[in-house]
Amino acid sequence: MENVESVYRKCFLVLSMKCLEALRKIQKEIDMEVQVLSYTKEPEKTCVVSMRSTRTLEPAHRLWNKDWMVECPEKSEDLFSCPKDKQGRGQKCNRYDICAIRLIREAKKSKHWGVLEHAYYTVSVSGISRACTHQLVRHRLFSYLQSSSRMIDFSKFTSKDFIVPPSIDKAGSRKGFSDFVDSAVQAYAGLKEKGVRKEDARFVLPEATSQHIVITGNARNWLHFFYMRMSRSAQWEIRELANAIHEKLMEISPEIFRGAGMLEC
């Protein structure tokens, strides 16, 4: 029987899909962009040959040469069993032993998360606040390179270059917010004109300052990130970021990232 937390998360993810269009509108307003720079060659295959090699006399490099099935003609949204098993006929398809889908689902079912540590994805993100990146780097198993406020000159920034929370607009306080960040930029530029280094002048910049960052992690890292940050309890900006990255990774590895947000790993 599923626990309350699991049921809650499933219900929330269904609601999240219904709210996806609204989330995209927020993403467009704050100009958030997410692009996958690179990823492990044939990630599902890489994971399953690594997994399979632990139970056979064949090493992964020989298993790699087999004709692994990474897409199944019989569609199933089940997270933990292959479509044939779901039919309850006790039958095995003729590609049972070389089915990457079945093995990935078995790994998830048995919580054998180490299998998914062999697929890496590097993602570039722009248009997020410093407040968001402070939360992001708490996920310490990722590797990061972030825009440096020590090296970048923010003198040309305007209020349009800062991230505005939707609640600011809802409260009718956009003008006050814009006036404040404009004054912060003026203070920054004024300090620089007086000979203060960028690394010190940046102390006046608010957490709304737009940033870009590169993130690299394996599939297990990403699934943990999605579990924590796609939650309704997550702050709105990092939740939107998690949804946007998940959407991109699903285009590459749908079997690996199916169920993200529910899988605690």
Residue 229 appears among annotated catalytic residues? yes
> Which residues are CB-neighbours of 48 under 8 A, at least 6 positions away?
68, 100, 103, 104, 115
> Which residues are CB-neighbours of 177 under 8 A, at least 6 positions away?
159, 162, 164, 168, 208
What strand order describes the sheet that includes 120-129? Answer: 33-39, 120-129, 210-218, 143-146
Exactly one of 9, 130, 229, 239 is catalytic; which is it?
229
Q: Which burial class, exposed, middle or buried, applies to 188 when counting CB atoms under 10 A from its CB (0-12, 13-18, 19+)?
A: buried
For residue 129, the tally of other CB atoms under 10 A from its CB is: 22
Under 8 Å between Cβ of 255 and 119: no
- Residue 82 CA to residue 258 CA, distance in Å, equals 13
Q: Which residues are catalytic?
A: 229
